[in-house]
Structure 1
Amino acid sequence: MTDLPFSPWEMFLNAGPVVRCVMTLLAVASLLTWTIFIAKSVELFRTRMALTKAEKTLETAGTLDLGEQGTRENCIAHTLVMAAETERQRSHDIPDDHDGLKERIVLHLERLEAAEGRRLMRGTGLLATIGATSPFIGLFGTVWGIMTSFTGIAASKATSLAVVAPGIAEALLATALGLVAAIPAVVIYNHLARQSATCRAQVADLTALVMRLVSRDLGRMQMLTASGQVVHFGARIAGE
């Protein structure tokens, strides 16, 4: 088996400065793609585990206070519970406004849920940019390299294939690197988008569990209020 007359590294070294800059840019883009993939995969895996644990905690919690105690180690779950608790405390001076309180809590939780969704997708926009632009950047390097090769051929007045082939091969390497950078970026972006969608669905489940605890607590308060009114009414009749 004979060695290739030109290795990719030799073609990179022999390329012109513009084509070399294009290749370097594409190599950096490819490195960023795999770095984001590893970092986001670890982040999303930990997030899924934490959200699953928080779901179990809120599922077994009987009240919002118990849910707050059980989710202190989970950032988003604790934030959701505290947002509901804070709104309930701020609305204590509005009597018999259970429906309005639920609506205000839902609006607050929806904003927190949307913010968490944006946080989960943070960094993946760069993957979309790399996947969309890398082929065109590589094509630019190829076109520039071929133009330089033809200019050199015209200057030397040599039309031999041995003279033309190395310059064209160096130029086409830029397109190959563009595809090498773009294809994994698109695949990884779609993969991370699906993982983020799974996490967002779990956050939505947490929102529903928090609202269930809020509704449960409000129902208990309503029962206690009704019982207090009945006792007060009975004591007034006995006094008469």
Structure 2
Amino acid sequence: MKSSTFICAAVAGIVATGPVAALDLESVRTLLDPETFTALLEQAEHDEMSPLGMFMAADWVVKSVMLSLLLASILVWVIFLAKVMILRWERGVLRRRYRALDRAGSLNAAKDLFAKKKGVVSQMVQAALRERAATGDQPELKSGIKERAGSEIARIEAGAARRMGFGAGVLANVGSVAPFVGLFGTVWGIMNSFISISESNTTNLAIVAPGIAEALLATAIGLVAAIPAVIFYNILARGMGGYKVMLADAGALVERTLSRDLDLAPIKDATFDEAPVDKPVFRLGSVSTSAAE
């Protein structure tokens, strides 16, 4: 029982110090100190109107609401920071691969360049090369090659966009649900306050105020979790929108490069096959006649 009380005090201490202080290593070390737990507990016993005191004095339902909102807030920050770093990395890689393919000018030239590299552009190039090798370079099959390669490239784009969107739904859910969860804790706490008023047969504000304050704390924590979640979701939505545009540009470049290779292949072959051959010329005096004549 004592250890669980210490855990509750630590969690409530994080709530009292705020998410920014909770991310500070020095604050974490301080909160993990058992002597600090004891001091927080003593402070909660003497100051019922502090955030820690209100948490410790709250009903178990209200405590559960506060803890769930606290965990949701931490999850929101972790997802946002991770997605921002992943998105920046993927956009940088996509930009470099796009420029490399544009400089190569053809899929044959880019084949060795993208053979051992990972990434969306590499998958698109490999898909186009596989489709071309499986179908062949016959002129009558060019439209089919372009259509099938474009379909596979579109699926690669959709898969990359879907993978990048993982986790963003959590931010949307927290931003929309957290205020109502906090409101539920507030309603439950106020209900308990009215029950205590009826049982004590008094309307003294000093008796009613702590219970109402505990209830309102749940709504405050819900807003602390919901507001960053909404802001972070909007930021990630804009970033992922730009990433999807870059994916579409990369897919269009691969399709253009494939189409150019297919259109130029017959011309190069015809130029090589129909090159004029010099015929030997025999000169008889002032008259020149070719061997064919």
Normalising by structure 1, what TM-score? 0.90
224, 233, 237: which one aligns with 1:189: 233
What is the Cα deviation at residue 95 of structure 1? 5.3
State the AA in 2 paired with 1:218: L
User: 1:44-84 deviations in whole A, cap 9, x for unaligned?
Assistant: 01011101111110110122032233334341111010011
Question: Which structure is higher in helix share?
Answer: 1
Alpha carbons 1:145, 1:171 under 8 Å: kept:
yes
Alpha carbons 2:94, 2:119 under 8 Å: kept:
no
Alpha carbons 2:54, 2:213 under 8 Å: kept:
yes
Percent identity between the two aligned chains: 45
More contact order relative to length (CA 8 Å, sep ≥ 6): 1
* Number of the residue aligned with 1:236: none
Alpha carbons 2:139, 2:266 under 8 Å: kept:
no
Give the aligned length: 232
* Number of the residue aligned with 1:33: 76
User: 1:77-116 deviations in whole A, cap 9, x for unaligned?
Assistant: 1101001111111112865211121111111111111111
65, 68, 74: which one aligns with 2:111: 68
Deviating runs (4+, > 3 A) in structure 1?
224-231
144, 149, 154: which one aligns with 2:198: 154
* Residues in 2 aligned to 1:119 and 1:66: alpha-carbon distance in whole angstroms: 29
Measured at CA, do residues 134 and 149 of structure 1 come closer, stay the same or move farther in structure 2, by a change above 3 Å? same
* Number of the residue aligned with 2:283: none
> Which structure 2 residue ranges, 5 or more long, are not aligned?
1-46, 276-291
Alpha carbons 1:54, 1:74 under 8 Å: kept:
no
180, 183, 186: which one aligns with 1:136: 180
* Residues in 2 aligned to 1:216 and 1:102: alpha-carbon distance in whole angstroms: 10
* Number of the residue aligned with 1:7: 50
What is the Cα deviation at residue 125 of structure 1? 0.5
Are 1:86 and 2:130 an aligned pair?
Answer: yes
Normalising by structure 2, what TM-score? 0.74
* Number of the residue aligned with 1:218: 262
* Number of the residue aligned with 1:166: 210
For the aligned residue pairs, the C-alpha RMSD in angstroms reads 2.1
Alpha carbons 1:68, 1:78 under 8 Å: kept:
no
Alpha carbons 1:22, 1:138 under 8 Å: kept:
yes
What is the Cα deviation at residue 227 of structure 1? 3.9
* Number of the residue aligned with 2:43: none
Secondary structure in structure 2 of the residue aligned to 1:113: helix
Secondary structure in structure 2 of the residue aligned to 1:159: coil
State the AA in 2 paired with 1:10: G
* Residues in 1 aligned to 2:167 and 2:95: alpha-carbon distance in whole angstroms: 23
* Residues in 2 aligned to 1:70 and 1:228: alpha-carbon distance in whole angstroms: 27
User: 1:14-44 deviations in whole A, cap 9, x for unaligned?
Assistant: 1000000000000000000000011001100
State the AA in 2 paired with 1:223: I
* Number of the residue aligned with 1:127: 171
98, 112, 118: which one aligns with 1:55: 98
> Which structure 1 residue ranges, 5 or more long, are not aligned?
232-238
Select between 186-195 and 68-77 the one with higher mean Cα deviation: 68-77
User: 1:164-183 deviations in whole A, cap 9, x for unaligned?
Assistant: 00000000000111111011
Alpha carbons 1:50, 1:74 under 8 Å: kept:
no
* Number of the residue aligned with 2:64: 21
Secondary structure in structure 2 of the residue aligned to 1:11: helix
Alpha carbons 1:146, 1:171 under 8 Å: kept:
yes
State the AA in 1 paired with 2:54: M
State the AA in 1 paired with 2:131: E
Bigger Rg, which one? 2
* Residues in 1 aligned to 2:113 and 2:230: alpha-carbon distance in whole angstroms: 39
